[in-house]
A and B are shown apart, each in its own frame.
Chain A
């Protein structure tokens, strides 16, 4: 099992953002995570990535507990988050060289990764001048160096152009072919067409089990689905 979340809950102050997420992802499975803005998708991803501790519940990545065996989990997990996590005053190549050393692969092929994401022309330029899309590509190059067994992508297509989306999907498929798993937070299913095996919706801090009411509305995007009147849970 690549990911096994059991009753993962998290509060910020008095507000419970996650109220018990149960989610199992097998190795080789690609899961799309849907839900309204602020429903706790990113919080869940951060808990799996060991960046945040769950207030209750347990979570395992390839059998390692994210709470107590963080270092083992970090060897498996690659997290692509909203923030680029790059140093503005280092060049593209320096950023990747730093990442490679930190990941424990000091001899990784940095130039190949840069070429793959199409940043060879700015190898020696500082990240400060990069557009948002270029920064996303550089973050992707870092994931390419890492080749994680569990990929956590938080809205990966943001700021990426068509070529960038193809690049991202190519990378996801490649990891999938190698037996890796992925959890992808999406607000639009279209770019993820063909890479996602199934989707899971989070609503009010729990995994939402679809009801008939969900299918009486139009639109594939979860934001378009209005809240069914009869399905009001705990507020």
Chain B
């Protein structure tokens, strides 16, 4: 059955991406270290005042995750470009969405793992008080990361194969992710400070809407960007 074959292909790509990533240990540690470094820089920029740091914690965390994950997206295709593996990948029969799904899931796992490290350091550095509704914050982080990774995996498929890819990916990606960033930051803040529950609900809705729309759009459009 064709669909079952495609699911099997997706699983194989996830396994392959994560295995190569795990074996070249430098990759993950470097990206996570960069995320932590960005947090430290934000801490220095926003000054030693504890109150100001706490207020800015949500924003700094999300920006650190965004900046570091962009490196992960380009790496994810770099593995394919070394030794012409992308050529072999495109020569296999089957649906193109299986390739996208595989890369997407592998990137999700990668970014989530990085997020755990960055958030842990952020809680310490920015003196964040963990509120009772911390599971909600975890949920928001998952939603936000799905949005970032969906578009990041999609745009990196183009930028990694064009000139000036280091510039092109953030240039395309950051403006597109502004709704995700605003929603994630505001919702995280609302839960951190036990703010009005009404607003955070709206942000969560927007995040979910964004994720659904762009998951569908990128799945449909991926075939057009990978084949040429």
A-B interaction = yes
Q: Which residues of A contact B (CB under 8 A)?
A: 49-51, 53, 70-71, 74-75, 77, 79, 81-90, 94, 98-99, 101-104, 106, 126, 142
**Chain A residues with CB below 8 A from B19, complex form:** 89-90, 94
CB distance from B148 to the nearest CB of A (A): 25
A85 CB contact (under 8 Å) in B11, B15, B79, B88 = B88
**Chain B residues with CB below 8 A from A98, complex form:** 12, 15-16
**Chain B residues with CB below 8 A from A51, complex form:** 87, 90-91
Query: Can you list 30 contacts pairing A with B, beta carbon distance less than 8 Å?
Result: A50-B90, A50-B91, A53-B228, A71-B93, A71-B95, A77-B91, A79-B87, A82-B84, A83-B84, A85-B84, A85-B88, A85-B89, A86-B85, A87-B20, A87-B83, A87-B85, A88-B20, A89-B20, A89-B23, A89-B24, A90-B16, A94-B19, A98-B16, A102-B9, A102-B12, A102-B89, A102-B94, A103-B93, A104-B5, A106-B8
| A84 x B91 contact (CB < 8 A) | no
CB distance from B103 to the nearest CB of A (A): 13
CB distance from A134 to the nearest CB of B (A): 13
CA distance A15 to B114 in the complex (A): 46
User: In this complex, what residue of A is CB-closest to B6?
Assistant: A104
User: In this complex, what residue of A is CB-closest to B227?
Assistant: A70
CA distance A90 to B8 in the complex (A): 18
| B92 x A102 contact (CB < 8 A) | yes
**B192-226, CB < 8 A from A:** none
| A103 x B83 contact (CB < 8 A) | no
CA distance A86 to B85 in the complex (A): 6
Interface size band for B:
20 to 34
- With A101-B8, A102-B12, A102-B89 in contact, do A71 and B84 touch (Cβ < 8 Å)? no
**Chain A residues with CB below 8 A from B93, complex form:** 71, 74-75, 103-104
CB distance from B15 to the nearest CB of A (A): 8
Say whether B82 faces chain A, with CB atoms less than 8 Å apart. Answer: yes
What 1/0 mask marks residues of chain B from 50 to 92 whose CB sits below 8 Å from any chain A CB?
0000000000000000000000000000010011110111111
CB distance from A3 to the nearest CB of B (A): 16
CA distance A87 to B79 in the complex (A): 8
| B87 x A74 contact (CB < 8 A) | no
**Chain A residues with CB below 8 A from B92, complex form:** 74, 99, 102-103
Beyond contacts A53-B228, A86-B83, A90-B20: 6 other A-B pairs, Cβ-Cβ < 8 A, are: A71-B94, A82-B84, A83-B87, A87-B85, A88-B82, A89-B23
**Chain B residues with CB below 8 A from A70, complex form:** 227
CB distance from A51 to the nearest CB of B (A): 6
CB distance from A60 to the nearest CB of B (A): 17
CB distance from A151 to the nearest CB of B (A): 13
CA distance A153 to B61 in the complex (A): 51
User: In this complex, what residue of B is CB-closest to A127?
Assistant: B83
| A79 x B91 contact (CB < 8 A) | yes
**Chain B residues with CB below 8 A from A142, complex form:** 88
**Chain A residues with CB below 8 A from B24, complex form:** 89
**Chain A residues with CB below 8 A from B5, complex form:** 104
CA distance A101 to B8 in the complex (A): 7
| B87 x A81 contact (CB < 8 A) | yes
CA distance A86 to B88 in the complex (A): 8
In this complex, the member of A49, A86, A102, A103 whose beta carbon has the largest number of chain B beta carbons within 10 angstroms is: A102
**Chain B residues with CB below 8 A from A104, complex form:** 5, 93-94
Give me the 6 closest cross-chain CB pairs, A-B, nearest first.
A83-B84, A85-B88, A102-B92, A101-B12, A89-B20, A89-B23
